[in-house]
Chain A
Amino acid sequence: MNILKYSEKHSAFREKFRAFVKKEILPNAEKWEQDHMVPKQAWKKMGQEGFLCPCVQPEYGGPGLDFLYTVIIIEEMARTRQTGLISYLHSDIIVPYIESFGSEWQKKKYLPGCVSGDIITAVGMTEPGAGSDLASISTIAVEEEGHVIINGSKTFISNGINCDLLIIAVKDPLIENPHKAISLYLVEDKTPGFKKGGKLEKMGMHSQDTAELFFTNCRIPVENLLGEKGVGFVMLMKKLQQERLTCSIMALNKAEYVLEWTIEYCKNTQVSGRPLSSSQSVQFAFAEMATEARMSRLFVENLIADHMEKKDIVIETSMAKYQTSDMANRFANRCLDIIGSYAMDEQCPLVRELRDLKVMPIFAGTNEIMKGIIAKSMKL
């Protein structure tokens, strides 16, 4: 009943990526979690093996594959017990901005490095005073003699420490309408005036180097403008569909992983001489969760197919982002409860999932923002 049709090439790619995960990611996941960092080398290995930016076109050094390859990478990544090597953020959320809106020389300059892993990207939208309400950002950019001077700060930036290239959303202080004042610029690491703050201490996603970024009279060439001036908002809106879809794929697979793991655990764990899975309430809980996950998968797979046909499904992907991230959190909560005392222990793999998943209803547009978008589409 699966909607997506994977070819033999896709399957071979999945096998190849699984082998890579087994060899290069799983053995290092614990260390990355402890270090609160993924070494740049790991990103490079991903690139060398062809697992970064699968959709970037060959003229910019990419393999030019279809979106199903992205789906495969996200699905397998969901089961790696680490979130620092957040390749879909780089490959499928940030790099597409450059590919879609970048000038020819920007694409030639940056995309090959993004594909090879020599350039790790980040996107700076959120600020201490502006999250869901992007229009209220206060980082400003002023043009001055062929340069752009950026002042302000960004926070909660994933890949904040590792990033070699940042797409930053800034405001032109001279334009009143906030929706027409936002532009996107490319800022390279080590640009004078661009300072990376310390890693932020979070509930989970410990291997992810989330950071604050500071800009003090940071000068970049005007050529670093991404797309046109003042249409930052529009560009961001155009890319939301894929962003939400990739988040949904991740959340869905995390939910499935949580459920699969718990079912296995309950089958193999005896309490008072009976496996945990022999309890009727546990069985019904699994039945309910399996049903919800299955329905969710069919919806998400349908969206993947539509997205590949370039259909406008921005509302549906908002639905999926909200539903899958919410579901994954409910599953983690419920499964920990079913597992019982072992679920208090960091050794239990689901403890990390609970901590990591908690941010999914918050990032990439909070679920409240998603619901607002869905409601707005109904013209109420």
Chain B
Amino acid sequence: MKFIIRFPWHGFCTSVIGETLMHKILNRKKKTSVFTGKPEEENMSFKISKPQKEIQKAARDFAKGEFDKDLAFDMERAQKFPEDVRNKAAGLGFIGIHYPEEYYGAGLGILENVLLAEEFCKKDSSMGIGLMLSGFAAECILRFGTDSLKDRFLSGIASGEMLSGEAFTESVSGYDTGDIKTWAQKKEDAWIINGQKTLVTNGGKAGVYCVLCRTDPGSIGADGISMILAEGNSEGLLSVNPRDKLGMRMVSTSDLVFNNVKVPCSNLVGKQGKGVLQALAFYDEARILLSAMALGTARGAFLRALDYVRQRELFGKKLAGFQVTRHKLADMAMGINIAEHLVYEVAADFDSGRSDSGRIAMAGLSACQAAIDVSSEAIQLLGGYGYMAEYELERFYRDAKSMGIFLGNTGMMKDIIAKNIIEKIK
């Protein structure tokens, strides 16, 4: 059992620390950050524990053994994920490591999941993304669902038997989840869902979808929207318009049509009318994972470029010997390190019960930017080879660019960051 001292002002008052001591700590720490207006954490940089390092190594070994380059190439082209790899990963406990043990998880935190995502994507961005998004949106069930829903779905996801996806966005609404037309009508002990969703992750493949529906017909905006689970094989549920994508191609994306889809009343996730708030909380959590995937992608691209410039010779010397190359590597490494710091920090914060949308958005933005910049520069360093599919970097770049858009573009991330800074300082 891990024992972490949690700082009291975040609502995790530990009884082991006496009240006087607590006040001392509080007073000492009341410096506020100029960036966030929040207390400066003394414990900004932390170390990954030994068990966490072991998890990291296990993930690295798994990816090394299972992520075959040629397989990845073919599957990415075909927009498929190798299911036997998923099953093996699930068998080793790599899916849902943050679920409680009773639901086939390991009872660990987001930080551990982050370490997996990073290692997987470092080895192969497309495979890593495909694997880590197996249980996309299942965190909604994990955080807000009843025990019976967790029992019904989390175990299946963690064991690799089913995928999950989110059905939030509608054609007009984009990320503004308040503008939702899909609606669920309560009839006796069931919800009847009608409507259409777009850009559904794992669309057409998932065993269960988290659907945002209007449950209060008179309501407008975010109020009156609830989160309801619909099983993939429900009668009246149709997956249409599968997308041909720029990147993240091992994860399917499609539209879903709900035509009188009947689900039991108990499929309501969390509180009725709180669907949008729950979705926003989920996006925060999902962005941490996304930033870890981006961080891994950046690292993978960096290592490939490093390997190349150490070997390639031109004008009588190694490419790595040119100052401009070295400075490019310096920039790349710097971007990765900044992102790493932010990503680990928000993951550890999340595990300690502190979740700050602004900082998470910063982590997401810096990691995605690092992934885009590093993979782009890596292609340039490899020259013509960088442009060839065989050298993988073009795939890393396409995946990076897609991740930068997947859970909100730069403008949206900056909106979130600014909102958090401005509203918390005043």
Residues in A lying within 8 Å of B, measured CB to CB: 126, 130-133, 136, 155-156, 200-204, 270-273, 279, 281-282, 329, 333, 336-341, 343-347, 351, 354-355, 358-359, 361-363, 366-368, 371
A361 (CB) vs chain B CBs: closest residue:
B380
CB distance from A160 to the nearest CB of B (A): 12
In the complex, are the beta carbons of B384 and A340 less than 8 A apart? no
Q: Given A337-B405, A343-B246, A344-B405, output 6 extra A-B contacts at Cβ < 8 Å.
A: A201-B388, A203-B394, A336-B401, A336-B405, A340-B405, A346-B243
Q: Give the chain A neighbours of B384 by CB distance below 8 A.
A: 126, 131, 155-156, 359, 362-363
In the complex, are the beta carbons of B405 and A359 less than 8 A apart? no
CB distance from A72 to the nearest CB of B (A): 28
Q: Give the chain A neighbours of B172 by CB distance below 8 A.
A: 270
Q: How far is the CA of A202 from the CA of B412 in the complex (A)?
A: 32
Q: How far is the CA of A355 from the CA of B247 in the complex (A)?
A: 11
Determine which of A272, A282, A333 lies in contact with B176 in the assembled complex, contact meaning CB atoms within 8 Å: A272
Residues in B lying within 8 Å of A, measured CB to CB: 73, 169, 172-176, 179, 199, 243-248, 253, 314-315, 324, 372, 376, 379-380, 383-384, 386-390, 394, 397-398, 401-402, 404-406, 409-412, 414
In the complex, are the beta carbons of A341 and B199 less than 8 A apart? yes
B245 (CB) vs chain A CBs: closest residue:
A344
In the complex, are the beta carbons of A201 and B390 less than 8 A apart? yes
In the complex, are the beta carbons of A338 and B386 less than 8 A apart? no
Q: How far is the CA of A346 from the CA of B79 in the complex (A)?
A: 12
In the complex, are the beta carbons of B411 and A281 less than 8 A apart? yes
In the complex, are the beta carbons of B383 and A337 less than 8 A apart? no
Q: How far is the CA of A273 from the CA of B172 in the complex (A)?
A: 8
Q: Give the chain B neighbours of A132 by CB distance below 8 A.
A: 314, 383
Determine which of B248, B380, B394 lies in contact with A344 in the assembled complex, contact meaning CB atoms within 8 Å: B248
Q: How far is the CA of A371 from the CA of B324 in the complex (A)?
A: 11
CB distance from B406 to the nearest CB of A (A): 7
In the complex, are the beta carbons of A337 and B410 less than 8 A apart? yes
In the complex, are the beta carbons of B176 and A344 less than 8 A apart? no
CB distance from A47 to the nearest CB of B (A): 29
Among B247, B324, B387, B402, the one with the most A-chain Cβ atoms within 10 Å of its Cβ is B387
In the complex, are the beta carbons of B397 and A358 less than 8 A apart? yes
Q: A338-B409, A366-B380 are in contact. Are A272 and B246 (CB under 8 A)?
A: no
Q: A337-B410, A341-B174, A366-B380 are in contact. Are A201 and B243 (CB under 8 A)?
A: no
Q: A272-B176, A281-B411, A362-B384 are in contact. Are A203 and B389 (CB under 8 A)?
A: yes
CB distance from A275 to the nearest CB of B (A): 12
CB distance from B369 to the nearest CB of A (A): 10
In the complex, are the beta carbons of B379 and A345 less than 8 A apart? no
Q: How far is the CA of A200 from the CA of B175 in the complex (A)?
A: 39
Q: How far is the CA of A379 from the CA of B410 in the complex (A)?
A: 41
A201 (CB) vs chain B CBs: closest residue:
B389
* 27 sampled A-B residue pairs with Cβ under 8 A: A131-B314, A136-B314, A200-B388, A202-B387, A203-B388, A272-B174, A282-B411, A329-B376, A336-B405, A337-B404, A338-B409, A340-B409, A341-B199, A341-B405, A341-B406, A343-B246, A344-B245, A344-B247, A344-B402, A345-B243, A346-B246, A351-B246, A358-B379, A358-B387, A358-B397, A359-B384, A362-B386
CB distance from A339 to the nearest CB of B (A): 8
Q: Give the chain B neighbours of A201 by CB distance below 8 A.
A: 73, 388-390
In the complex, are the beta carbons of B409 and A337 less than 8 A apart? yes
Q: How far is the CA of A329 from the CA of B77 in the complex (A)?
A: 23
B178 (CB) vs chain A CBs: closest residue:
A272
CB distance from A126 to the nearest CB of B (A): 6
CB distance from A203 to the nearest CB of B (A): 3
Q: Give the chain B neighbours of A339 by CB distance below 8 A.
A: 409
Q: Give the chain B neighbours of A368 by CB distance below 8 A.
A: 324, 380
Q: Give the chain A neighbours of B386 by CB distance below 8 A.
A: 362
CB distance from B177 to the nearest CB of A (A): 10
Q: A200-B388, A201-B388, A271-B176 are in contact. Are A362 and B380 (CB under 8 A)?
A: yes
Q: Give the chain A neighbours of B243 by CB distance below 8 A.
A: 344-347
A130 (CB) vs chain B CBs: closest residue:
B314
In the complex, are the beta carbons of A333 and B174 less than 8 A apart? no
A343 (CB) vs chain B CBs: closest residue:
B405
